[in-house]
Amino acid sequence: MLKQFGLTMAAGAILSTGFPTEDVGAQSKGKSLLDPNRIINVAHRGASGYAPEHTMPAYEMGHKKFKADYIEIDLQMTKDGQLIAMHDETVDRTTDGTGAVKDKTLEEIKKLDAGSWFNEVNPSLARKEYAGLKVPTLEEIFSTYGKHANYYIETKSPEVYPGMEEKLLNTLKAYDLSSDRVKPGQVLIQSFSEASLQKVKDMDPNVPLIQLMEANEVKALTDDRLTAIRQYAVGVGPSFKALTRENVSAIRAHDLLLHPYTVNEKADMVRMIDYGVTGVFTNYADRFNDVVKGLYKK
């Protein structure tokens, strides 16, 4: 793999330990969200380890209680062109309904129970207030948090939803969150689809973009591919399971931020930071806070 990237260990010398060396408070407040020396905590689908994913309680817990750097929002689009927060293309897993999001109007989506499933799957974390939770729209999330939060937004299955990128950028603009109105990195747009990211870049060249990658893509990475990604993106979001010290060094050597998903166990969090990642997606933002604080104290 090292020969494939054509790197020497010197290229990753700054990552020799990977561990942060400053006080955690100063680090989190004093560096830009896009600073490669800042370790980012992304609340994956909100605090989804403790509350129903992509619901307002999950976002509230991740943002206010655990103080994650970002609220992560997966986007799907309804039959009538409304952007909603949901991971899957269908409503089956996380609501009491069935069928594709693209075949339902927002009114139909709003009739669904998006919380009771969590109580059934996680009885030890069940709360009566989770029953009957509604699927939030992107506008409802922006209305709630405005500029008081940072947003990590994914265009999910954009090939299924023509015009999703334009709708997203128009919604950001409507809520004063477009690239010319926010601090650098306050809004990041991510996708597994390079075509979707390129569409966003064509419409707004200043929006920071993140290229998501499955494990097999990470294992097949080449120097040329990383160079190409850097032409349109500021970072990559790979499956953490495919990362090694060597390919992390290769990615970082291309001046790319590195935010792997979904890192939930403390041992994996420590290992990722040791490798030199610049943040993680996690269902347990509190757990990652504890890991980072512990490393700063060493």
The per-residue b/e assignment along 34-64, b for 16 or more CB within 10 angstroms, e otherwise, is: bebebbbbbbbbbbbbbbbbbbbbbbbbbbe
> Is residue 44 flagged as an active site residue?
yes
Tally DSSP H helices, then E strands, for the chain.
13, 9
Block residue for tokens 């980012």:
40
Q: Which of 54, 63, 87, 254 is catalytic?
A: 87
Cβ atoms within 10 Å of 209's Cβ, excluding its own:
21
Q: Which of 44, 54, 63, 254 is catalytic?
A: 44
Structure tokens that stand for 78 in this block: 């309804």
The per-residue b/e assignment along 98-133, b for 16 or more CB within 10 angstroms, e otherwise, is: eeebeebebebbbebbbbbbbbeeeeeeeeeebbeb
- DSSP-assigned beta bridge partners for residue 187: 151
- The residues that are catalytic are 44, 87
